[in-house]
Amino acid sequence: MTSLPLIPVDPDAPGARRAAMPPQHLADLDLAGRKDLVTKLGEASFRARQISTHYFGRLVRDPALMTDLPTSSRERLADQLLPRLLTPVRELACDDGATRKALWRLHDGSLVESVLMGYPDRVTVCISSQAGCGMACPFCATGQAGLTRNLSTAEIVDQAVYLAGVAASGKVAGSPPRLSHVVFMGMGEPLANYNRVVTAIRRLVAPAPEGLGLSQRHITVSTVGLVPAIHRLASEDLSVTLALSLHAPDDELRDELVPVNQRWKVCEVLDAAWAYAARTGRRVSIEYAMIKDVNDQPWRADLLGRLLAGKLAHVNLIPLNPTPGSRWDASPKPVEREFVRRLRDAGVSTTVRDTRGREIDGACGQLAAAEDSGTDPAGEMTA
Ligand code: SAH
């Protein structure tokens, strides 16, 4: 077994090299903060609400389109409140346009990705919380390159606002036009960028024009299992869904698949998940990538079933998605079916995730943000 870093990298720790954070944006501030800033700029405080209504209410991100702002003020307000955070590099589509992956360049050249998924009854965006990731899970493409930096609150929120605008434009045929769900399952470990992620959630759920007005229950935070941060999240007055990337029911294998397990063991991370469920009343989603001959044995299904039976939990099996250079494959379907059967026999609710976006490297674990990666069969350039 490999020995991997025990302590998650924290770029905000004292002494850590501070990565270049982007300029402040209105989504970093609550409405009161925006009013303060606008007043300091010598503008009437109602301009804060006006510009917020454009951004969060109408999903307009381009100041040139905010024509009810006098031209003289518009530029000054745009400079201070709407700096360009995300520059689109490429947008790829598959599933007849129902899945779209956006690749962004940030102000410091870092690349991140987000994915929009349309369903008949809902529209979900999967957003990134960090450029890269420090968690080093060997089966995940993002984990291979390491962590570049945390995203700011506004860099996180702007991904959702941009893609909510794409959905509203009707580009996602066969889906409602309104963004309904956000999952923190893009690049990065959201709980390693705790404060900015929690602030971003507050913006996503605040009613317009303060925020995007999504339901807390429609927001999912996925984590490798940073135990203290799970407890902290439970104590916020939020009831977002927690997803735990478990991937193995035993420490020996999980130490390898999810290296942070060397710091917080399976029993500790599950205890934290049950504490979260008890506190919020929300069922925890247990993520389990099915990896052929690695974690898909019947005995591991039985062990997982015993750990989860009677708990407020739902298992989401994810067929392993291919990543460059990976030595692992997805489990064969009959093995997957047997795994599901054993979990259900143990009384554990289980589904197999429909993995969207494989053809565009937009599926779980495939977000690596290499600008020149892959070809572009169904996509289009939008930069
Ligand atoms: N760092 C967080 C957020 C990323 S979410 C976390 O790990 O939970 C991405 C989800 O996809 C996680 O459950 C992750 O373990 C899973 N995943 C990563 N690589 C994968 C792959 N190659 N195939 C299938 N799922 C994968």
The pLDDT tens digits for 305-328 are 999 999 999 999 999 998 888 889
Respond yes or no: is residue 75 known to be catalytic. Answer: no
63 Cα to the center of ligand 1, angstroms: 36
Q: According to the annotation, is 137 in a ligand binding site? A: yes
Pocket test for ligand 1, best of 224, 245, 256, 258 (most atoms within 8 A of CB): 245
Residue 265 to residue 190: CA distance in whole angstroms:
19
Q: Ligand 1: list residues with CB < 6 Å.
A: 135, 137, 139-140, 185, 189, 222-224, 245, 287, 289, 318, 320-321, 323, 364-365
Respond yes or no: is residue 113 known to be catalytic. Answer: yes
C-alpha dihedral over 256, 262, 263, 267, to 10 degrees?
A: 90
Q: According to the annotation, is 215 in a ligand binding site? A: no
Per DSSP bridges, beta strands 99-105 and 87-94 are antiparallel
* Atom 18 of ligand 1, residue of closest alpha carbon: 365
Catalytic residue chosen out of the listed positions 43, 91, 113, 287: 113
Q: According to the annotation, is 133 in a ligand binding site? A: yes
Selection from 206, 223, 230 nearest residue 57 by Cα: 206
Residue 85 · residue 112 · CB < 8 Å:
no
Query: What is the number of residues in the chain?
Result: 383
Each residue's pLDDT tens digit, 171-210: 888 899 999 999 999 999 999 999 999 999 999 999 999 9
Q: According to the annotation, is 247 in a ligand binding site? A: yes
Q: What is the pTM of this model?
A: 0.92
What are the structure tokens assigned to 365, written together? 């674990």
CB atoms < 10 A from the CB of 373, how many?
A: 12
Mean pLDDT by 10 residues, the chain (383 residues): 47 60 97 98 96 97 93 92 96 88 95 94 97 95 90 98 95 91 97 98 98 97 98 95 98 98 98 97 97 98 98 97 88 98 98 82 73 41 28
* Atom 6 of ligand 1, residue of closest alpha carbon: 223
Query: Which positions ≥6 away from 38 have C-beta within 8 Å?
Result: 44, 45, 47, 48, 51, 77, 81
Which atom of ligand 1 sits closest to the CA of residue 287?
A: 13
145 Cα to the center of ligand 1, angstroms: 15
